[in-house]
Amino acid sequence: MARALFIGRFQPLHRGHEEVIKWLLGRHEELVVAIGSANESFTPKNPFTVGERIEMLISMLKELNLISKVMYCAVPDTKGDSALWYAYVHGQCPSFDVAYTNDEFTRLCFEYGNVKVLNTPFFNRETYSGTRIRELMATGDKSWRDLVATGVLPVLGRINAEDRVRRLMQKQI
Ligand SMILES: Nc1ncnc2c1ncn2[C@@H]1O[C@H](COP(=O)(O)OP(=O)(O)OP(=O)(O)O)[C@@H](O)[C@H]1O
Ligand SMILES: NC(=O)c1ccc[n+]([C@@H]2O[C@H](COP(=O)(O)O)[C@@H](O)[C@H]2O)c1
**Domains recognised in the chain with CATH numbers:** 3-171 (3.40.50.620)
Read off the pLDDT of residues 91-143 as tens digits, 9 standing for 90 and up: 999 999 999 999 999 999 999 999 999 999 999 999 999 999 999 999 999 99
How much is the pLDDT for 70? 98
What backbone phi and psi angles, to 5 degrees, belong to 4? -105, 155
Whether the complex's predicted ipTM is more than 0.95 is answered with: yes
Centre of ligand 2 to C-alpha 61, Å, is 23
Task: Give the nearest ligand 2 atom to 76 CA.
Answer: 3
Q: What ligand has the least distance to the C-alpha of 135?
A: 1
Terminal alpha carbon distance of the chain = 42
